[in-house]
Amino acid sequence: MISILIPTFNDDCRGLVGSLILQAERIDGLDWEIIVADDASTNTAVVEANSGIGKLEGCRYIRRSTNTGRSVIRNFLAQEARGEWLLFIDADLVMVRNDFLKTYVDATAHAEVICGGYQVLKGPDGNLRYLYEHAAEKNKSVEQRLKHPYHSFFASNFMIKRDIFLQHPFDSRFYKYGYEDVLLGRELSEAGITITHINAPIGFLEYESNAYFLKKTEEAMETLYQFRDSLQGYSSILRVTNHLQGNLLGTIFRKIFKWKRNAWEANLISRQPSLLIFKLYKLGYYMCCF
């Protein structure tokens, strides 16, 4: 049995659920369930819309009264699931392939953890999140992911055996945005659990505003700083910081960041954001965490 698990916070996931139901029903002999867990959404219209999912055959909708964060809500879904396999999909993603679910099912014969990847769909001109994801996409092909299977682990679209996940859940200390999947990838590597990468992408279509994405990026840098000891070797920001920390270049760059921060922020929330400035901003923000 496959349990399809969708954590959501203020995202209408009815379209995603509908697509998954259609695909599941086309696979002969597949035993499946879909569980949507709402992590105390604040958008009442979205909550009302998603609540109808619980009336669909094979589906459950669970609304939580308290927001617990990205790790805890996924761990909760795993506890609720009945399947041998857990397929985690983020609620803000869209289906781009009609054989998405079948591709996963076919890969279960000789796998323990399976990552399907993602596809970046066209976003608004000048949108920082779209530009960032689009630039990174070329390094996320199956071929590239297979070269570094643990570093390429991606929590928004992956399947894992339930017994393995219960032994290696997401770290519940991760509440803010970012890096909970990076740490899980490292833990799976250290446990000797194989990660298989396949071509079963899910689609990015919703892109937050530049200002909101910048705020999420700052949260991610704070998370990275908090868990820096556990994430060594799995972050380019940490690698560069380790080189700069304690020498003159690091001191100079911190001063440059403090001097240019307002100007860089203005660029990144504008209609013509620079990815180079975005990289520098992330590094500078992280280095000023300590």
pLDDT of residue 103: 97
Bridge partners of residue 36, in order along the sequence: 6, 61
> What pLDDT, in 10s, does the model give residues 174-209?
988 899 999 999 999 999 999 999 999 999 988 999
pLDDT of residue 94: 96
Q: Is 210:273 a contact under the CB 8 Å cutoff?
A: yes
pLDDT of residue 289: 77
Residues of the chain short of pLDDT 70, as ranges, are: 290
pLDDT of residue 175: 86
Q: Which fold has domain 2-204?
A: Spore Coat Polysaccharide Biosynthesis Protein SpsA; Chain A (3.90.550)
Q: Is 9:41 a contact under the CB 8 Å cutoff?
A: yes
DSSP secondary structure string for all residues of 228-288? TTTSTTS-HHHHHHHHHTTSHHHHHHHHHHHHHHHHHHHHHTSSS--HHHHHHHHHHHHHT
**CA nearest neighbour of 74 among 3, 148, 147:** 3
3-state SS class at 32:
strand
pLDDT of residue 245: 84
CA 53 to each of CA 35, 56, 61, 239: distance values in angstroms, whole numbers, following the listed order: 9, 5, 6, 44
Q: Is 40:66 a contact under the CB 8 Å cutoff?
A: yes
pLDDT of residue 110: 86
Domain locations along the chain? 2-204, 210-287
pLDDT of residue 268: 98
Maximum pairwise Cα distance, the chain: 64
Q: Is 82:33 a contact under the CB 8 Å cutoff?
A: yes
CA 256 to each of CA 175, 266, 275, 279: distance values in angstroms, whole numbers, following the listed order: 30, 16, 17, 14
pLDDT of residue 261: 97
